[in-house]
């Protein structure tokens, strides 16, 4: 495995980071995950723009040229011996003596690390069968639009879901569904698609944006309007979306030790239509 360390490609073994890196001490940094299929990145530019925006929102200066970073990441992808996988990219604020205050540290240099991971196959079977989710409190902070390295809220929620045999945690704030622990959440009711508006309470997923575009093209009414737990349980269809798990039907829901079937308990027709359109986009990715 090769690693992109700032602007150098190095072997994993020699890709060491300083323990005083603020990413390690404070989770002071941001990240991205970008899929590649058959040697081509999907929505790379959108992910890199979001990476830059995440940096800017927490005052990490982002001085790289996106095109240069893009070509470094393409180079990195081409060093691996598999054609399908994803790249993990993180940027931390840099290395300094441990201190919450970073503002007087003019010599802080942001540190970028990126490496690729092999993805066995697209989760096609699960994408047809659907998954069970566990509904739980959204205990995260109020800047969820930043793709922050601080993932404890998501880690705890996902583990609780896993303990209960569910694949994903669906989070709510005071009864309003926000998103999943590492996914966005959509429902279908009476032919209309609903998802939480892109504000500070969710990460505006790149997959979410692609789905909204697909819905517009396919003539499926789409409302960026939040819904309640009750509306979620009574939806005709529901699914999660993310770069790695793509579009995953939700077919049953665990809540307060009870299990509810979602819709018919099977993948819905609108969900499938969106999955198909998404697969078409993947099949047509321009070569980087």
Contact residues for 59 (Cβ-Cβ < 8 A; gap 6+): none
Distance CA 266, CA 261 (A): 9
Contact between 261 and 242 (Cβ < 8 Å): no
Q: In the complex, which residue's CB is closest to ligand PLP?
A: 205
Least Cβ distance, residue 184 to ligand PLP (angstroms): 5
Query: According to CB under 6 A, which one of 93, 167, 196, 208 is a site residue for ligand PLP?
Result: 208
Interaction between residue 90 and ligand PLP (CB under 6 A): no
Beta carbons of 77 and 98 less than 8 angstroms apart: no
Q: Which of 90, 132, 184, 195 binds ligand PLP (CB under 6 A)?
A: 184
Distance, CA of 150 to CA of 27 (rounded, Å): 5
> Is 147 a catalytic site residue?
yes
Q: Find the shortest distance in angstroms from Cβ 205 to ligand PLP.
A: 3
The answer to whether residue 93 forms part of the interface with ligand PLP (CB under 6 A) is: no
Catalytic one of 179, 201, 237, 262: 179
Residue 180: both structure tokens together: 């999943």
Residue among 2, 52, 147, 158 flagged as catalytic:
147
The total of other beta-carbon atoms located within 10 Å of residue 288's CB is 15
Q: Which is nearer to ligand PLP, 95 or 179 (CB)?
A: 179
Binding mask of the shown chain, residues 127 to 166, with x at each position contacting ligand PLP by CB under 6 A: ---------------------------x------------
How many other CB atoms are found less than 10 A from the CB of residue 120?
8
Q: Are the CB atoms for 30 and 54 separated by under 8 Å? A: yes
Out of 205, 249, 263, 268, the residue judged to bind ligand PLP by CB under 6 A: 205
Distance from C-alpha of 53 to C-alpha of 111, rounded to nearest angstrom: 16
Q: Active-site residues: which are they?
A: 31, 147, 179, 203
Positions touching ligand PLP (CB under 6 A) are 33, 154, 179, 182-184, 203, 205-208, 241-243
């Amino acid at each position: 495995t090769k690693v992109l360390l700032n602007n150098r490609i190095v072997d994993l073994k020699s890709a060491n980071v300083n323990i005083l890196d603020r990413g390690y001490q404070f989770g002071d940094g941001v990240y991205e995950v970008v899929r590649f299929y058959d040697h081509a990145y999907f929505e790379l530019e959108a992910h890199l723009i979001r990476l830059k925006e995440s940096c800017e929102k927490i005052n990490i200066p982002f001085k790289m040229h996106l095109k240069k970073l893009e070509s470094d990441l393409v180079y990195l992808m081409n060093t691996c011996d598999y054609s399908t996988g994803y790249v993990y990219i993180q940027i931390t604020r840099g290395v300094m003596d441990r201190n919450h205050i970073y503002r007087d540290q003019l010599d802080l240099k942001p540190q970028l690390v990126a490496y690729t991971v092999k993805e066995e196959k697209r989760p096609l079977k699960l994408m047809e069968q659907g998954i069970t989710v566990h509904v739980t409190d959204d205990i995260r902070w109020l800047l969820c639009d930043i793709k922050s390295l601080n993932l404890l809220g998501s880690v705890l929620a996902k583990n609780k879901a896993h303990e209960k045999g569910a694949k994903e945690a669906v989070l709510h704030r005071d009864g309003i569904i926000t998103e999943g622990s590492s996914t966005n959440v959509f429902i279908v009711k009476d032919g209309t698609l609903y998802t939480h508006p892109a504000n500070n309470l969710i990460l505006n997923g790149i997959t979410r944006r692609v789905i909204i575009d697909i819905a517009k093209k396919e003539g499926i009414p789409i409302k960026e309007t939040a819904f309640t737990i009750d509306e979620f349980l009574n939806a005709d269809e529901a699914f999660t979306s993310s770069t790695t798990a793509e579009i995953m039907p939700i077919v049953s829901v665990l809540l307060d030790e009870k299990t509810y079937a979602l819709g018919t308990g099977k993948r819905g027709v609108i969900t499938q239509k969106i999955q198909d359109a998404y697969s078409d986009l993947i099949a047509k990715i321009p070569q980087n």
